Amino acid sequence: MIEILSIPPLATVQDLGRDNHWFQGLGRAGAMDPVALKLANMMLGNEAGAATLEIPLSPASFRFSEDQVFALTGAACGARLDDVPLPRYWAGLAKAGQELHIGPFQQGGRVYLAVYGGVDVPEILGSRSTQLRESFGGFEGRILRAGDILKPALTPPADFPSNGVSISLPELSQPRGETIELRALPAAEHDSFTDIALTAFWSETYRITPQSNRQGYRLHGPELTRDHVGELRSHGIIPGIVQVPGGGQPIIQLADSATMGGYPKIAAVISADLWRLGQALPGDSLRFVQTDLDGARSAERDMQELFSTLANDCKAMKRLQQGWR
Amino acid sequence: MQIETSRLSMLGSHAVLFTPDCPFDLAHQQRIWAIADTAANWPDVREAIPGMTNLTLLFNDIPQDLDALSSQLDAAWDSGMSKLVEGTLLEVGIHYGGEGGPHLEDVADMTGLSVQDVIRLHSEAEYTVYAVGSHAGYCYLGGLDPRLETPRRKVPLTSLPGGSLSLAGMQTGVSASAGPSGWNTIGTADVKFFDPLRSPASLLRPGDRIKFNPLAVTP
């Protein structure tokens, strides 16, 4: 068991999300940074989409009631196991009674804490993700709080490398203060915006405002106006769609996105880049870079290649360590 | 990738929106239901979801050939095929106005009607569920009296309680859970439109009908 000693609001249990219920109006939920979630599971040898904790604010602390293995990925957070500092992107052993402390984020916006076999919560409608709006899934359908006790789905293996497993991610971190680049496709109402708006949208930076959460990020930057206006009939929307309400400031829908909406859509961030928003914080700036489906395919291939490289690194490291015993 | 004149647009790298230029009525919505059923069987389409006289397709992989997809959808739409649904009728009691309907007077102002006429026109109609979406179990309804057409609010409300009855454009509906909304809210209802432990979880599906009955008037 892992007891939550302290945790700020908005931490939840998430997996890769709930597919195939869009027709009932049920969004996907799932990790805001699916890359970090998959890496955490990979380092433990879990299934790629096992349920983990998603922690969007710190500090937080946990106590292990018996020997466990766990993995931490995502934001750089000065994590310590008792007094021992842990590398970013690390998986390893905790002894019964040890405490894990997550400190202020130095880089990134969400930490993923994975346990062996995934967090043991019921699968509902095909997923273990927390559906915050509908209050089900995850841990009792709600955000986590101090005193909650989380159970790993499996007993840890006896041969997990005693020194832990860590990986380095040259491509996956964005120094704080640097503009996040998001590759995006023009969406249905793109051409109805003024030339000035389109030039601004594709070249200037937008800041993530504090009115941002798992549903979506409200941005602030050059106002986007349309040549012709009029109410749209409601239509499907998905995470990554960039809508522009009458106020002229864009909103990016994210993991807890609605399934339908009616605001004009200027662009759509490709799936392969959504994780970058999962690691972004209010105040960070971002820029949209226009791409096409070939660009989206190549981004997806790059991500797959990175994963297979890291998976091999992980296996090699475990073999090495197990050989040392 | 030139799809400017097409009815097809991108919602993401793995999703498209098909928007035929057509009147907003039940006959055309029945054609959307029909092509949704057809497209759901195409290889690689994960889900085909009707919107309001439009269709969203979600794909497992990034679509390879948008032109071919566009032609397929055009052909399906132009065939005129239609799906008739023998839906159920749900009667819903509504408290119009008061705390739960903060924009009732705004709607009266925007439409030039009296509050009483807004309530009367809204509750006299029988609505058809055109689409289910936005949030779980939420029903987009067709059948709103054109005299009740209003613009969406410029700044969406960050949270509106479940059971809120709202309208915007030519659309109206009751929220199934608390969440943000850009519509004008004119009343409240007490109905469980979505229950994850019920099968199916969503109470209504496209083709079902709703009638609103005024419970009390708090102008």
Distance (Å, rounded) from C-alpha B85 to C-alpha A91?
54
Please give the sequence-ordered ranges of beta strands (E in DSSP) within B143-183, or none if there are none. Answer: 157-160, 164-168, 171-174, 179-181
Percent of chain A at pLDDT exceeding 70: 96
Q: Is B176 an interface residue toward A (CB < 8 Å)?
A: yes
| Residue A168 banded pLDDT, cuts 50, 70, 90 | confident
CA distance B213 to B211: 7
* CB proximity A167 to B under 8 Å: no
**pLDDT tier for residue A70 given thresholds of 50, 70 and 90:** very high
Q: 185-204 in B: which are within 8 Å (CB) of A?
A: 194, 196-197, 200-202
Structure confidence at residue A130 (pLDDT): 98
Mean pLDDT of A145-153: 97
How far CA B5 is from CA of A294, B9, B20, B184, in Å, comes to 21, 10, 11, 33
From the list B169, B163, B164, B112, the residue with the least C-alpha distance to B145 is: B169
Q: For residue B136, what are the contacts with CB-CB under 8 A and spacing of at least 6? A: A21, A24, A25, A26, A27, A131, A133, A134, B176, B177, B193, B194, B196, B201, B202
B146 reaches A (C-beta below 8 A):
no
Q: From B8, B15, B12, B185, select the one nearest B98 (Cα to Cα).
A: B185
Do A268 and B12 count as a contact with CB atoms less than 8 A apart?
Answer: yes
Tell me whether residues A134 and B136 touch, CB distance under 8 A.
Answer: yes
Residues in chain B with pLDDT values less than 50: 1-4, 219
Q: Taking chain A, what is the end-to-end CA distance rounded to the nearest angstrom? A: 27
Q: Residue A271: how many CA atoms within 13 Å on its side-chain side?
A: 24
Touching check for B156 and chain A: CB below 8 Å? Answer: yes
Calpha distance A155→A312 (Å, rounded): 24
Element (H, E) at B126: strand B126-132
- Contact: B196, A261; criterion CB under 8 Å: no
Contact call for residues A243 and A253 (beta carbons, < 8 A):
yes
Residue A289 is predicted with a pLDDT of: 97
pLDDT in tens, A185-227: 999 999 999 999 999 999 999 999 999 999 999 999 999 999 9
CA angle A186, A243, B52 (to 5 degrees): 95
In degrees and rounded to multiples of 5, residue A316 shows phi and psi of -60, -45
Percent of chain A exceeding pLDDT 90 equals: 83
CA B183 to chain centre: 12
Residue A171 in this model has a pLDDT that exceeds 80: no
Q: List chain A residues with CB under 8 Å of B197.
A: 124
Contact across the interface for A131 and B134, Cβ inside 8 Å? no
User: Which pLDDT score is estimated for A312?
Assistant: 87
For residues B111 and B147, the answer to whether their CB atoms sit within 8 Å is yes
Give me the domains of chain B, ranges plus CATH numbers. 6-78 (3.30.1360.40), 89-218 (2.40.100.10)
**DSSP string of A118-144, one letter each residue:** -B----BTTB---BTTTTBSTTTTS--
Could you tell me the pLDDT band of residue A231, with boundaries at 50, 70 and 90? confident
pLDDT at A174 over 80: no
What are A224's two structure tokens?
């986007």
pLDDT by residue (tens digit) across A248-305?
A: 999 999 999 999 999 999 999 999 999 999 999 999 999 999 999 999 999 999 999 9
Residue A229 has pLDDT above 90, yes or no: no
Q: Which of 213-242 (A) contact B at CB < 8 A?
A: 215, 231-241
Residues of A in contact with B10 (CB under 8 A): 185-188, 268, 293
CB A67 within 8 A of CB A156: yes
Q: What pLDDT is recorded for position A11?
A: 98
Interface test with B, best of A23, A28, A266, A298 (most B CBs within 10 A): A23
Per DSSP, the three-state class of B176 is: coil
CA dihedral A135, A139, A145, A148 (to 10 degrees): 150
